[in-house]
Structure 1
Amino acid sequence: MVPSALAGFGLGLSLIVAIGAQNLFVLRQGLRREHVLVVAAICAASDSVLIALGVSGVGLVLLAVPWIIDVVRWAGALFLAGYGILALRRALTPSGQVLDARADADAPADAAASAAHRAAAATKSRTRLVPVVLTCLALTWLNPHVYLDTVFLIGSVANTHGDARWIFAVGAMAASVLWFFGLALGARYLSRWLSTPRAWRILDGVIAVVMFAIAVSLVLPS
């Protein structure tokens, strides 16, 4: 059973650790320190559900109705293009966004009013939970690649392990949990390089390019 679990963990991690729309969103939320645990939980739970569906044989049903994947593909491309436009707009329009948590921590006692003012401004600009949840769900469930990786590939490989297929699936699920929570919670250690509006504009520019590239790849014939 242990070899099956390790095999599932290795395959799951190898498929998840890649620059993509979902990982960039998790990274950005981790850097902003907004709803970090919720975003990581949604991504990990979604992967777990999809892996379970693949192991249970739902992938065979999807193969019988391929138009479902086409619908997801086009919907995902449109959503990614829209998200890319928003990221490009942030990259081209200075917003003054910075990570000033370290500055607040190092502020002297007589600067309490200034720190409070910055905290109030940060709270005001904080993204509400519902839009973040909906965006995270869309980036996950409107991405046809996630079905290919989890439902079809992991599901197919898991079923080669016979009675240990669910142990294999648990290993793959564990990889997803480890990666998303590690990425979301570890992103804060990159804050030293993202302490200026210019750095955030560069990050949003990279996000825009990746989103557009993935959107185009979804609609172009393979």
Structure 2
Amino acid sequence: MTTYVLAAIAGLLTGAGLIIAIGPQNVFILRQGVARAHVVPVVVVCAISDVVLIVAGVAGLGALVAAHPGVVTIAKILGGGYVIALGLLAARRCMRSSDAIVTNAHEASTVSRWAAVGMALALTWLNPHVYLDTVLTMGAIANSHGNAKWAFAIGACLASLLWFATLGSGATKLSRFFASPRAWRLLDAVVAVVMLAMGAVLIASV
């Protein structure tokens, strides 16, 4: 029993470490939360998607991908390019006028529920970086726990559920702070720096 508990705790901590880092999913949830627009469906979609990817990695998909280094290399290049593109978009948002920033924030609050869900799905499933972290890395670590790998998976899934729920509710409470264009500009500046750095590191690791 102790082995399974320790594996679950390891999964919780590992999942938290990989998920909490600023990424496309987190940024989108943050922006939707601040705009108070369809936060619950977006959080549910991101959390369920992560759970599916974690289970796939633990079930063996990660090992299958690892057996083909060429696939990993391509995923790193595509993932790095994808994250860099998101960073450049965030940097461009920083340089807009205050009126344009306010307009964009208003547009985020008026987007339809299905459009928001579609964007959340795209940012999750079309991002090659998520397969490297959630499927490959998480799967490899989980399988190193032997018979306790599913306890590890449960811990990792719990970390994902807790994080996305906390991020969504926390972002909603920040909406008053982001009434200022300066706050949005600061957020996009941080996102741009982090995304560009993540993309560069990912490509450099090839």
Q: TM-score range by the shorter chain?
A: 0.7 to 0.9
**d(CA) in 1 for partners of 2:118 and 2:197?**
22
The sequence identity of aligned pairs, in percent, is: 47
1:44 and 2:47 matched: yes
In structure 2, relative to structure 1, the CA distance for the partners of 1:216 and 1:137 (3 Å cut) is farther
1:208 and 2:195 matched: no
Q: For 1:146-197, what per-residue CA distance to the aligned partner results, in whole angstroms no more than 9, with x for missing partners? A: 3333223332332243333212211210110010111011112223322211
2:179 aligned partner = 195
Whose Rg is larger?
1
1:148 and 2:132 matched: yes
* SS of residue in 2 equivalent to 1:18: coil
> What is the root-mean-square deviation of aligned Cα atoms in Å?
2.8
**d(CA) in 2 for partners of 1:92 and 1:40?**
29
Counting matched residue pairs gives 200
1:19 and 2:19 matched: no
Q: TM-score scaled to structure 2, two decimals?
A: 0.80
**d(CA) in 2 for partners of 1:160 and 1:74?**
27
* SS of residue in 1 equivalent to 2:21: coil
| Greater Cα shift, 37-46 or 139-148 | 139-148
**d(CA) in 2 for partners of 1:16 and 1:161?**
20
- Structure 2 gaps of 5+ residues are none
**d(CA) in 1 for partners of 2:19 and 2:137?**
12
Q: Give yes or no for contact 1:9–1:175 (8 Å, CA) kept in 2.
A: yes
* SS of residue in 2 equivalent to 1:34: coil
1:31 aligned partner = 34
- Structure 1 gaps of 5+ residues are 99-120
1:97 aligned partner = 102
1:108 aligned partner = none
**d(CA) in 1 for partners of 2:140 and 2:197?**
28
* SS of residue in 2 equivalent to 1:57: helix
Q: Give yes or no for contact 2:88–2:192 (8 Å, CA) kept in 1.
A: yes
In structure 2, relative to structure 1, the CA distance for the partners of 1:188 and 1:178 (3 Å cut) is same
1:111 aligned partner = none
Q: TM-score scaled to structure 1, two decimals?
A: 0.75
* SS of residue in 1 equivalent to 2:179: coil
In structure 2, relative to structure 1, the CA distance for the partners of 1:73 and 1:3 (3 Å cut) is closer
* SS of residue in 2 equivalent to 1:194: helix
Instruction: Return the offset for 1:130.
Output: 4.8
1:159-170 matched pairs, under 5 angstroms: 159-170=143-154
Q: Give yes or no for contact 1:73–1:143 (8 Å, CA) kept in 2.
A: no
In structure 2, relative to structure 1, the CA distance for the partners of 1:3 and 1:124 (3 Å cut) is closer
Instruction: Return the letter of the residue paired with 1:155.
Output: G
**d(CA) in 2 for partners of 1:22 and 1:125?**
17
1:67 aligned partner = 70
